[in-house]
Structures are given as structure tokens and as C-alpha cells.
Structure 1
Amino acid sequence: MKVEVWSDVACPFCYIGKRKFEQALEQFPHKDQVELVFKSFQLDPDAPKQYDQSMNEMLAQKYGISVEQARGMNAQVVAQASEVGLNYQLDTAIMTNTLDAHRVSHYADTKGKGREMVERLLAAYFTESKNVGDHDVLAALAAEVGLDAAEVKQMLAGDEYKEQVIRDQQEGGQLGVQAVPFFVLNRKYGVRGAQPVESFLGVLNQVWEEENPKTKLDVVGDAGAACTDDSCSL
């Protein structure tokens, strides 16, 4: 089974949804036969690399609410993250354009470290308040998952993997991905949002059963005219 996940490094529900899906996968009997692939999605491709506002201030301006109200909204998200073991620090999160972070995740994927890189980027942004738009920070994070920091910095100096990020976004749009996280199972079912673990597990089982149907015969005839292992009607 192939599961493709469209997500953004700066999407709080993407990290929460990732954790919930992973918890469901741990309970799935066929987890060793699931291929998990992460796809790039930028919530705001035009976002600046540097903000002069905090996340609370940005949300207040965006939604026309007070900073305190924005802080309350974020507190609810922090509480949801804590339910799956994530310690969000949204008050000090450093907002940035996520293109380069996605480029690094694509590069990491070519080295067999794609999933580890996605996890490291999300943790850095949401729990450690690291600037995932800064090339030095990205190179250091890549080194932590086993990549060569110098090679990552060299890659970031150009435009490598930018087209892959754009292609992922376009592919998602063709599939109807308009919000993230978005999970696509065998290009047959789509699950939007950080759904409960039970929901993820249910759709995993459903897709597996549909893709691997058990052979069951339609039986005709009187059971009384047949023998079983321990009895026979004469």
C-alpha cells in the first residue's frame, strides 16, 4: 500500500496529523507493507523569508482579531499537539517561506533520508523555534539526520529541487488537495486533516481489504448431506 502525504513544514496540523497517522500505522497489521511518501505543499508560496511579526501578531492581523485572541487560538492548537506528545512553542515560532525546507526534504529523499528530514524539520519549526528558512540552520538539521552539511548548503545556493516542490503542489491540486495535511492511499482514498487515530486505522484496513480481497465461495446444497471432521449424518 502506498500512502502519499501532502504537508507543509509550517502547518501545525500537519505535524499533529503525522503523529496520529503514525500511531494508527503502529496498530495496522500490515504496516511493514506500507510505503509512506511525503509530498510538498506550501500554504503560502509567496511568504517572505523574514517576518517582522510574531505568529500571534500575524494571525491577529490576518483575521482581524486581537493579539490575545490569536494567542488563545494558538493555545488550542498547542493543547491538541500535546495530546500526541508534541510540545509546540508557537509563541516563539519563527515564520518564514518554506520553499528551501521542502527542497532539503527532496534532496534528503534522494539519499534515503526523506522521512527523517521531514520529521526533523517539523520538530525544529514547531518545538524548537528554529528558522527553517535559514540555509545554515537547514544544513545543520540535515547533518543531524546523516546528510553532508556542505553538500546541502551547496544545493541550497542554487535552485535544485525547486521544480519538484512546484510539481508536488500541482499534482496535489489535480487530486483535489486544497488543505493540508492530506493523505492519499493507493490513489483511491483521500483523508483530509489531522483525523483521529481510529479514523486513520479504519481507512487503512478498508483499503487493505479492498486491495486484497479474501476468496469466499457462494455455497449451495444441504449441509445435512455432508460430513464434517467429527460427525457425519447417515
Structure 2
Amino acid sequence: MAEQVTGPATGPQVVIEVWSDLGCPWCYVGKHRLREAIGQRPDADRFAIRMRSFELNPAAPHEPETIEKAFIRAHGGTAEHFLRAEHQIQAIAHEEGLAFTLDRLSANTFDLHRVVQYANGQGLGFEFFSSVQDGFFAGGLNPYEPDALAGVAESVGLDGRRVREILTSNEYADRVRADRHEGLELGVAGVPFVVLDRRVAAPGAQKVAVYGQLLERVAGPIRDERAS
């Protein structure tokens, strides 16, 4: 099952698969751009977004640390380099009306992806992931706390008790690994990576207009109802 984006249906469903990871700021921005592009179409409910798991750093520690420390370990450089990169993407996010705090934590996201897989099965994968990521970048949510994830799950219509069970088990681990493996086979070198109708791929956080053009390629142009 996949989450539906509401709007008047005018054609067959188009599945949009999004390989993404929680702490990737470009995934955060790209997700909102994609959603905006879909929302601009009168046939928005034709498009079903399915979240696919892709850990950017499978070796990341499970104990949360500052994003500055994680950045320097992964990319090298200094705190100045880190702040320059963060301020750049923060400015882009703010221009698009998105909250973006620099006071975030970083840790292994494998467990979160396991919950996303459960949410996908309930048709709420995109809604759950999006809510967690939005809260994370706004600075109001610690996604590495089981109670926090359970709370978000309940807010989108999932079973919080079930989420807690998953987090204390190894359920859905194979699906997370399978998603990453499939992404690598498709050429994913980084995220976000969007595949539309298994016909068109879009690496990186594209502009709203570019996503709109890709939607048109797979679903046809938006018909002007005013035309006679």
C-alpha cells in the first residue's frame, strides 16, 4: 500500500518511490518540493508516494551525537566547514518556508526505517516519515526516542504499541536492507532519489518546476479546464 495525496482523480494511479534518509537535509527540502509539485496538479490523488529505505551511513553509531561531530567524522574538515554547509541549506529551507534548526542530533537510522516499513504496510509510510522528519528539522522531536516515534505514529493513525514492539525486535530488518540493495542496483549514490512510475529517475532535490515536468512525463500534462 502507498499513501495517497488527495485531489480529484482523473486517471490511473502513478507510484512515486522515494529513497530517503531522516537526517539528510536535501531529502527534507526535496520531499516538500515534490509534494508541492504534486499538489499543483488537479489530478493529485493519482500519485501514490511510497517511502523506500536508504541509510546514508549504515555504520553510524546508535548513540545520538551532535550533527557537527557526525559531519566532521564523515566528511572531515572543521566546525567552520560544518557551519558553512549548514547555514547554506538552512537558508534554502527558510526561503521555502521550512523550519530548520542547527540543534539536531545524529545517530543510526536503521530502527526508524524498520518502523517506516511497518507504516508502508498500513498505507501511511510517507505520512509517518514526513511527520518525523519535519519534527526533527524543526527541533521539536528526538526521533531516536521510542516514545517519540510511537507518538508520531499515533498522530498519523498507526498503532503506537505496535511501534514499540517493533523497536524492541528485529522486525522489518530484511525489508530495510532489501530497499537499500535495490536502490544501489538502480544507481542510487545518494539521497533523495525519486523514481516515478519505474520510468523516470530524479536524483537529488530537484526544483518544484522540475518535479512538475517529471510528473507530466509520466502522467501527462495538466488539462486546462477553462479551455473550450
TM-score w.r.t. the length of structure 2 is 0.85
Pairwise CA RMSD of aligned residues?
A: 1.8
Please state if 1:35 is matched with 2:33: no
Q: Letter of the 2:93 partner, please give it.
A: A
1:55 aligned residue (60, 64, 67): 67
Identify which range, 55-64 or 97-106, moves more after superposition.
55-64
Equivalenced residue count is 208
5+ residue gaps, structure 1, are 211-234
Between the aligned partners of 1:97 and 1:61, the Cα distance in structure 2 is 14
Checking the alignment, whether the CA contact within 8 Å between 1:42 and 1:99 is kept in structure 2 is yes
* Residue 78 (structure 2) aligns with: 66
Please state if 1:2 is matched with 2:15: yes
Between the aligned partners of 2:69 and 2:158, the Cα distance in structure 1 is 35
Q: Identity across aligned pairs (percent)? A: 36
Post-superposition offset of 1:61: 4.4
Deviations 1:3-26, CA, capped at 9 Å, x for gaps: 111101111111100100111111
Post-superposition offset of 1:68: 2.3
Checking the alignment, whether the CA contact within 8 Å between 1:60 and 1:66 is kept in structure 2 is yes
Between the aligned partners of 1:32 and 1:146, the Cα distance in structure 2 is 19
* Residue 14 (structure 1) aligns with: 27
Post-superposition offset of 1:51: 4.0
Identify which range, 125-134 or 183-192, moves more after superposition.
125-134
* Residue 224 (structure 2) aligns with: none
Please state if 1:154 is matched with 2:158: no
Between the aligned partners of 1:95 and 1:64, the Cα distance in structure 2 is 16
Please state if 1:23 is matched with 2:36: yes
Checking the alignment, whether the CA contact within 8 Å between 1:9 and 1:122 is kept in structure 2 is yes
1:129–1:32 distance in 2 versus 1, CA, 3 Å: closer
Between the aligned partners of 2:47 and 2:110, the Cα distance in structure 1 is 27
Q: Letter of the 1:76 partner, please give it.
A: Q
* Residue 198 (structure 2) aligns with: 187
Between the aligned partners of 1:151 and 1:79, the Cα distance in structure 2 is 38
1:88 aligned residue (77, 100, 107): 100
Between the aligned partners of 1:3 and 1:95, the Cα distance in structure 2 is 27
Between the aligned partners of 1:188 and 1:205, the Cα distance in structure 2 is 12
Between the aligned partners of 2:119 and 2:75, the Cα distance in structure 1 is 36
Helix, strand or coil: the match of 2:106? coil
Deviations 1:53-102, CA, capped at 9 Å, x for gaps: x2123323443322123112101111111122211112x10111111111
1:64–1:172 distance in 2 versus 1, CA, 3 Å: closer
TM-score w.r.t. the length of structure 1 is 0.83
Checking the alignment, whether the CA contact within 8 Å between 1:57 and 1:70 is kept in structure 2 is no
1:51–1:114 distance in 2 versus 1, CA, 3 Å: closer
Identify which range, 131-140 or 18-27, moves more after superposition.
131-140
Post-superposition offset of 1:188: 1.1
Q: Letter of the 2:105 partner, please give it.
A: I
Checking the alignment, whether the CA contact within 8 Å between 2:150 and 2:164 is kept in structure 1 is yes
Runs of 4 or more, structure 1, over 4 Å off, are none
Checking the alignment, whether the CA contact within 8 Å between 1:96 and 1:132 is kept in structure 2 is no
Q: Which has the larger radius of gyration?
A: 1
Identify which range, 167-176 or 132-141, moves more after superposition.
132-141
1:33–1:64 distance in 2 versus 1, CA, 3 Å: closer
Post-superposition offset of 1:163: 0.8
